[in-house]
Amino acid sequence: METQELIRISFRAILSNKLRSFLTTLGIIIGVFAIILLVSIGAGLQSYITNQIEGFGSNLIFLIPGRIGGARTPGGQSSNKLLISDTKTIQLKLKNMASVAPIVQQISTVKYKNKTDKGVSIMGTTSNYIKTVKNALVEKGSFFNFAQEQSGAKVATIGESVKTNLFGNNNPIGKKVYISNNTYTVIGVMKKRGAIFGIDQDNIIIVPVAAAQQQFGLTHINAAYIAVNNQNQIADVKDKVSKILLKRLSEDDFTLQTAESSLSIVANVTNVLQIALGGIAAIALLVGGIGVANIMLVSVTERTKEIGLRKALGAKRSDILKQFLLEAVILSLSGGIVGIILGLTASYILSLFLVSQVTPFSIILAFGFSVMIGIIFGMAPAIRASKLNPIDALRYE
């Protein structure tokens, strides 16, 4: 039997019961949709974090409280033994080799006249921050200088979201804002950075670390950025910083991470995440494949007489096998195409709010799975149909 004729017969059989065919493909649609969407979230997350780390600069070393992978974890004050004074010591001893920018953070309420912005991240750092972190750029005004840093001047460079919430379209430079009843003069606005998973990166105010210490009583750092002047000396600087810290701390009290090693960790974590998300979606595809097999077996039973009649008229066993296998593949492929379209649409909508990035790999994976599901789960019903005895099939009631 010619291929065109097989395709025509297969489509006619599928369209003869549209509702059942749609319900059969629904599992495939959901599975493919899930693969596209979940893998795109994983890819988007990896791309975003990678861009953020690369934006810091390839010459950067991250100093983090606690030991990653050790008995202690980075973060809380109870396990955080890194002091602001430690970063001052590092800067003093490595003055000609690197620039150090400690980071302390506190959430607070900011006011300007009758306007209030709650939940703003107040970041204390040094004047080195602007030259240490490459993607930290001032859009308008200026960043505080070394003299202001040393004196603990109450000056602030604000994020774009804070500027919009408190000043609207007005120029904020020179205006005074209240951070928990302390007055700060706005001297600059940082370049917009956007949001990640709903967390606004521009809802921030950067002040001299001495001012943050005085206001919030902070002594421990959340992190520190160490920018090495000569990229060839990264390993040497990392070793020197470690030796400086080990004079007061233990190896479990801090982690030194280079940009390159951070990218490697991010890649490993997000790859595992993508595999896990893809596995969850594959379960939905498996369920969809079982649905295809079930409906095709029902179809074989319902069309037993049709099969017997076609065999009696000269149809070969291979023709029957091809027809039912083709029907299963068409059902799976149709569900796959619809799932891909829905997945691409959902991923685009998601990218407007979160990070999402569709990759050719996810599309090829989803398309390939849908075809494979049709072949694997359509094979058994097709073989069963092809093996029917024409005489017994014609007598079937």
DSSP letter string over 183-218?
EEEEEEEEPP--EETTEETTSEEEEEHHHHHHHH--
- Asked if 24 and 334 count as a contact pair (C-beta separation under 8 A), the reply is no
Phi, psi of 182 (to 5 degrees): -105, 135
Q: What tokens were used for 221? A: 């750092």
**Residue the block writes with tokens 């969809």:** 288
- Ordered DSSP codes for 334-364: HHHHHHHHHHHHHHHHHHTTS-----HHHHH
Those residues whose C-beta lies under 8 Å from the C-beta of residue 168, and which sit 6 or more positions away, are none
CA–CA dist 118, 52 (Å, integer): 26
Determine whether 4 is exposed, middle or buried from the number of CB atoms within 10 Å of its CB (0-12, 13-18, 19+): exposed
State the DSSP code for 99: E
Which pLDDT score, from 0 to 100, does residue 395 have? Answer: 53
Single-letter amino acid code for the residue at 293? A
Measured over the CA atoms of residue 125, residue 131, residue 132 and residue 134, the dihedral's sign is positive
Q: What tokens were used for 337? A: 């195409």
Helix H or strand E segment including 89: helix 84-93
Which pLDDT score, from 0 to 100, does residue 120 have? Answer: 93
Establish how many alpha carbons lie within 13 A of residue 43's alpha carbon, considering only the half-sphere containing its beta carbon.
18
- Asked if 338 and 29 count as a contact pair (C-beta separation under 8 A), the reply is yes
- Asked if 55 and 135 count as a contact pair (C-beta separation under 8 A), the reply is yes
**Residue the block writes with tokens 């009290």:** 253
- Asked if 179 and 205 count as a contact pair (C-beta separation under 8 A), the reply is yes
How are the residues of the chain apportioned to helix, strand and coil, as percentages rounded to the nearest 5?
A: 55, 20, 25
- Asked if 119 and 198 count as a contact pair (C-beta separation under 8 A), the reply is no
Q: What tokens were used for 60? A: 């950067």
Q: What tokens were used for 193? A: 């950075």
Sequential pLDDT tens for the chain (397 residues)? 566 766 777 777 777 777 777 877 787 888 888 878 877 877 777 777 766 665 666 678 889 898 765 544 444 444 788 999 999 999 999 888 888 999 999 999 999 988 999 889 999 999 999 888 776 789 999 999 999 999 889 999 999 999 999 999 899 999 999 998 899 999 999 998 876 655 788 899 999 999 998 898 888 999 999 988 887 888 899 999 999 999 998 988 998 888 666 666 666 776 777 677 667 667 767 777 777 777 767 666 666 666 666 666 666 767 777 777 777 788 888 888 888 899 888 888 877 776 677 778 778 877 787 778 777 777 766 676 666 665 554 554 4
- Ordered DSSP codes for 103-166: EEEEEEEEEETTEEEEEEEEEEE-TTHHHHSTT--EEEE----HHHHHHT--EEEE-HHHHHHH
SS3 assignment, position 170: coil
Which pLDDT score, from 0 to 100, does residue 153 have? Answer: 93
Helix H or strand E segment including 65: strand 60-65
Phi, psi of 124 (to 5 degrees): -100, 135
Residue 202: count of CB within 10 angstroms of its CB: 20
- Asked if 207 and 124 count as a contact pair (C-beta separation under 8 A), the reply is yes
Which pLDDT score, from 0 to 100, does residue 159 have? Answer: 93
Phi, psi of 195 (to 5 degrees): -125, 155
